[in-house]
Chains A and B, each alone.
Chain A
Amino acid sequence: MSVDIEFLKSSPYFSGLDIAELEAIRQLVFERTAQRDEFILDEGEPGEVLYFVVSGAVKEFKTSAEGKEQILRIIRPGESFNDVPVFDGGPNVASATAMGPVVLYGISKTDIGIILHDHPQVAANAVKVLAERVRHFASLVEDLSFRNVLSRVAKLLLEYAENGTGSERPRLTQQDMAAMIGTAREMVGRSLKALEEKGAIRMDRHRIVLTDKEALRETAGELL
């Protein structure tokens, strides 16, 4: 399958380039596919390729020593990943897996060097992309370090469990909960897992069952 020039044209990396330039860049782009749960990148390995998601979705995450996963980003069509190691020459900062069948375009680190040299506009575009990345991670750092998301999720669950009955009972998505406590959806997912590991709740398909309200109150402690 040939690389779609319209896709390149719509990428923030190649914004403002003319057709001749896009055509030259297309020669350096290769296609890769991956199946559900397939690793595309391993954290710590040399970062050799800048990827763009053409179709499907990719999960970028870090894993703690205890095996806990922290999702950094979900990468959708049109977006890129693995930018940082390709530009700084360091290892992959995170792992990435396919969330379903995916089609990717890749450009090797060496070829990125050639593109930046031959098309300075791409360097200016890359600054914008990386600046967006910094903004995203700054927000995630704020969530991870300064705010006690776990406490706020515990407090929210306690409040809602006591709020209404039967069909009147409010139903909340992870996105709703994230919006209500001012955090990212990924942080809510992680908090629910942590509360389940503590034995405070049980995730029963579409129900969150509060199994130990005392433990929840303790977790929510500083906010109550």
Chain B
Amino acid sequence: MTQMPEIIRELCNGCGLCITVCSCKGLVLIDNVATIMETVECDYCTQCEAVCPTGAIRCPYEIVVE
């Protein structure tokens, strides 16, 4: 399973800004809520998180030691 950004549905206002900046088509609006479409094309650029005006998208990192 590809780790994808996460959506907090309750915070999404359906503005669709995340969809416009996503270059891998990893996001769609369903019932006016941003929804993740799992794709190996997602390179975790975190642009969707950066543009989200309501903090509804999270791109969390695990912090690990090599």
Contact = CB atoms under 8 A, between A and B. Distances in A.
Interface string B1-30: 001000000000001010111110000000
Contacts, number: 89
A207 B3 CA distance: 10
Which range holds the interface residue count of chain B? 20 to 34
Interface in B44-66: 44, 46-47, 49-51, 53, 55, 58-66
Interface of B: 3, 15, 17, 19-23, 43-44, 46-47, 49-51, 53, 55, 58-66
Interface string A144-180: 0000000000000100110000000111111110000
Interface of A: 36, 55-57, 74, 76-77, 99-102, 157, 160-161, 169-176, 185, 189, 202, 205-211, 213
A175 B3 CA distance: 18
Contacts of A172: 60-61, 63
Contact of B66 (A76, A173, A205, A210): A210
